[in-house]
Amino acid sequence: MLRPNAMKARLAAGGAVSGMWVQSGSPVAAEIAARAGFDVVLIDLEHGHGDLDRLVHMIRAVQTTSATAMVRVPGKDPFTIGRVLDAGAEAVLIPLVADAREAERVAAFCRYPPRGVRGYAWPVIRASGYGLHPDRFARANDEVLVAVQIETATAAAEAAAIAALGEVDLLFVGPMDLAGSLGHPGDPARPEVRELIRTVEEAVRDSGKPLGTIVRPDADAATLLARGYRFVMAASDVVLLAQGAAAVARELRRLCEDGSGR
């Protein structure tokens, strides 16, 4: 289903958007995230538990609302990216992009010629309403949002060149893997990691392209928005369930052990 890309429109107007990861592979979780009020539901096929078959149902669930259905693809090959877009993803997040050359190449997989090399199957894919809306083909290249992840020191050094690419719409800082590339996995609060992230922020700010990232212990949503980020991922269905269930279980265990639940 091709509809106006609300995420892309809001960013183009200078606004900011909020997002939630769905990593469980559950269409129910995707629908709940969308109905909760997030602007973007980011379905994670890189580290999440979904697959391409369930992806269609997850995208459908999100598209019962005004939220944008975004997918982090599990690979950088044209066939995987093409299948995700054919399923109806309105935005894609491409992980572990190495440099500007690779960013240009993967962005081309997301758009039809002459702007890219995406394979044509418009009459049979879900993104076109299975061919029942052929007039929308002309809008497909403009409606899709292509985001690339900056997750290594090499990619960070090329942030300005990546941001200068016309077919890349958004750069997304992956702080945990960026820290890992500097020898501090999972510790983005290290001074050298924070300094590298600042260089990416400055490069992208100068380009005028929007910048995204995740909320983390050393940078909450308010801090990130104040630093110029316009796409902030603030929650995960798996994390919310795990933390919520653990909190309830701890309280119940305490009550059971001290007998105060009698």
* Catalytic residue annotation: 47
* Pairing of β 40-44 and β 68-72: parallel
In angstroms, what CA-CA distances link 245 with 105, 111, 189, 253?
A: 42, 42, 28, 12
Q: For the chain, where are the E strands, in sequence order?
A: 17-22, 40-44, 68-72, 91-94, 145-150, 170-173, 211-214, 231-236
The set of residues, in sequence order, having a beta carbon less than 8 Å from that of 175 and lying 6+ positions away, is 188, 193, 197, 213, 214, 216, 219
DSSP letters, 137-195, are GGGHHHH-EEEEEE-SHHHHHTHHHHHT-TT--EEEE-HHHHHHHTT-TT-TTSHHHHH
